[in-house]
Amino acid sequence: MRPQYPSRIVDELHDLIASAARERHCVFVAGLPASGKSAVVRRIGRAAADAGRVVHLLQWDVARLPFDTPANLARYPELGGVTHAAIRLAVGRWARGAVLRWDRAHPGPRHILVGETPLIGERLMELARPRDDGLEPLLAGERTLFVVPVPSAAVRRAIEAARAGDMSAARDAKSAPPDLVRAHWSEIEAVAVALGLPRASGSAGYDPGLYAATYQRLLRHRHVVVAPVTDVARTDAALAGVHEIVPSADEVAATMREIERMPSAEVARSAAQWYAE
């Protein structure tokens, strides 16, 4: 089970969630760890189920797990709790194909796909990139929405505190710990500089305005809405009865063969420059 982080979404987001849960075919919630993504995913999924829709779920930390085979980890080990670049690339490539297969299998309005997509460090960033393939019309069209929860500084501190105190309850025992959460923010600051985005305020540390602007730039080829998170409260229980999209062993093997054909320098470069097209 994932830890129950505190996060209460403002009224405007409540209306957004309700409309997205009724009308969109795909809703992807993008952002860093400790940004309230999980709470928004649960609310969208619950609202869609209440509206009579069948909810399918795609999450980075769940989809990645089948790639963590002993053979893959021996060749591509984690370093400091960070998934190897080759596996991050592989999960993204698999996810793009998986979403296309899902759409073809469930084209009707009764089904909705809700995704949790960190994007940072090539974690499902493949869904944000424009590609000349059969999935692009869906990802770039109005049937798909990317939601970016942006917590205030106070809410982010509360989420980080809950994460630090609740790590033992993490769903896969590998949710990003507080030090990695801070490292992710430092990476976003570096990406903002590389993209030429100015800091919204003169203060150091987490900057909600800079965070929102960076994710909007990353998602410039998608329909995206920024959702301020300005208050804290205990979240609802985890979703039940959803259909999770996870890779099969054959899909893992096939995708890893694709990655293994890439030169190691290209793998490292692609992961390091994940924010570039």
- N-terminal to C-terminal alpha carbon distance within the chain: 35
pLDDT at 203: 62
pLDDT at 165: 63
- CA neighbor of 71 nearest in space, from 90, 52, 58: 90
**What is the total count of domains within the chain?**
1
Instruction: Answer whether residue 143 shows pLDDT above 80.
Output: yes
Does residue 259 lie in a domain region? yes
Mean pLDDT of 249-266: 96
Cα angle value 151/241/138 (rounded, 5°): 65
**37 or 157, which is more confident?**
37
Does residue 127 lie in a domain region? yes
Q: How far is CA 140 from CA 133, 135, 201, 226, 249, in A?
A: 11, 9, 32, 17, 29
- CA neighbor of 197 nearest in space, from 184, 212, 181: 212
Does residue 275 lie in a domain region? no
Query: Residue holding tokens 């809405």?
Result: 225
112 and 24 Cβ atoms separated by less than 8 Å: yes
Does residue 206 lie in a domain region? yes
- CA neighbor of 174 nearest in space, from 34, 28, 62, 272: 62
pLDDT at 174: 47
Query: What mean pLDDT value characterizes the chain?
Result: 87
Q: Which amino acid belongs to residue 17?
A: I
CATH of the domain at 160: 3.40.50
Query: Residue holding tokens 């997509």?
Result: 117
Q: What is the pTM of this model?
A: 0.88
Using one digit for the tens of pLDDT, what is the confidence trace for 45-62?
Answer: 999 999 999 999 999 999
Does residue 68 lie in a domain region? yes
Does residue 2 lie in a domain region? no
pLDDT at 6: 36
Angstrom distance (rounded) from CA 190 to CA 2: 29
Angstrom distance (rounded) from CA 218 to CA 209: 14
Length of the chain: 277
Instruction: Answer whether residue 9 shows pLDDT above 60.
Output: no
pLDDT at 175: 52
The answer to which of 126-130, 140-144, 181-185, 200-204 has the lowest mean pLDDT is 200-204
Query: Which residues 6+ apart lie within 8 Å of 144 measured at CB?
Result: 24, 25, 26, 27, 28, 138, 222, 223
Structural domain that includes position 212:
11-270
Does residue 164 lie in a domain region? yes
- Per-residue pLDDT band for 11 (boundaries 50, 70, 90) equals low
pLDDT at 10: 47
Instruction: Answer whether residue 249 shows pLDDT above 60.
Output: yes
Q: Is 59 exposed, middle or buried (0-12, 13-18, 19+ CB in 10 A)?
A: buried
Does residue 1 lie in a domain region? no
pLDDT at 162: 73
Instruction: Answer whether residue 153 shows pLDDT above 60.
Output: yes
pLDDT at 235: 56
